[in-house]
Amino acid sequence: MTLQQELRMTRKFSSPEEELNLNLQRTVGLLSRPMLRYLKAHGLSPAQYNILRILRGQADGRLPCRQIGLRMVTREPDVTRLLDRLEKDGLVDRVRSDTDRRVVLISITAAARKLLAELDEPMRQIHRDSLGHLTRAEIREMNRLLVKARQPLLEGEDNE
């Protein structure tokens, strides 16, 4: 089934680029559903989950707020609000930097590490269930094309 049929469109797309962009949005929306439901059942949004994974990936488990924002899969306008909620839930701590008191470092808690350990395998399974019908070669090619599509859009993004 084509995207035009899925969306029950009666007119053609204005350009191949429009069709591709809408196709990407539709696919992300469908692929996200199982993950959204699973994370919601564990009291997390995808952005909060992303923050916890970023912090867990740090050798010392802590980063300044700005660095977290730059590393997120999708840019969030209010990382501070997300961190407030994670702190309230006991999943992150805030501490001032010893070297620069203006910098607040966010650190992951033991409770968050435990939660992530419980979520790891089910999340891997969600990804396998969502995309397991593709061959490894198709997955590699899709990844290559998505990186290529993003490249011009990334220039200057760190300055935003």
The dihedral sign for the CA sequence 64, 70, 75, 77: positive
Amino acid identity of residue 27, one-letter, is T
Buried b (16+ CB within 10 A) or exposed e, 49-76: bbbbbbbeeeeebbbebeebbeebeeeb
**Residue 39 confidence (pLDDT):** 97
Please enumerate in sequence order all residues whose Cβ is within 8 A of that of 95, keeping only pairs 6 or more positions apart, or say none. 62, 104, 105, 107
Stated pTM of the model: 0.86
Tokens of 13: 């797309």
**Residue 3 confidence (pLDDT):** 87
Q: Read off φ and ψ for residue 15, nearest 5 degrees.
A: -165, 160
Question: What percentage of the chain carries pLDDT values higher than 70?
Answer: 97
The rounded distance, in Å, linking the Cα atoms of 99 and 86 is: 25
**Per-residue pLDDT tens digits for 56-104:** 999 887 899 889 999 999 888 889 999 999 999 999 999 988 888 888 8
**Residue 154 confidence (pLDDT):** 85
**Residue 157 confidence (pLDDT):** 66
Cβ neighbourhood burial of 92 (10 Å; 0-12, 13-18, 19+): buried
When comparing pLDDT for 41 and 62, which is higher? Answer: 41
CATH of domain 21-126: 1.10.10.10
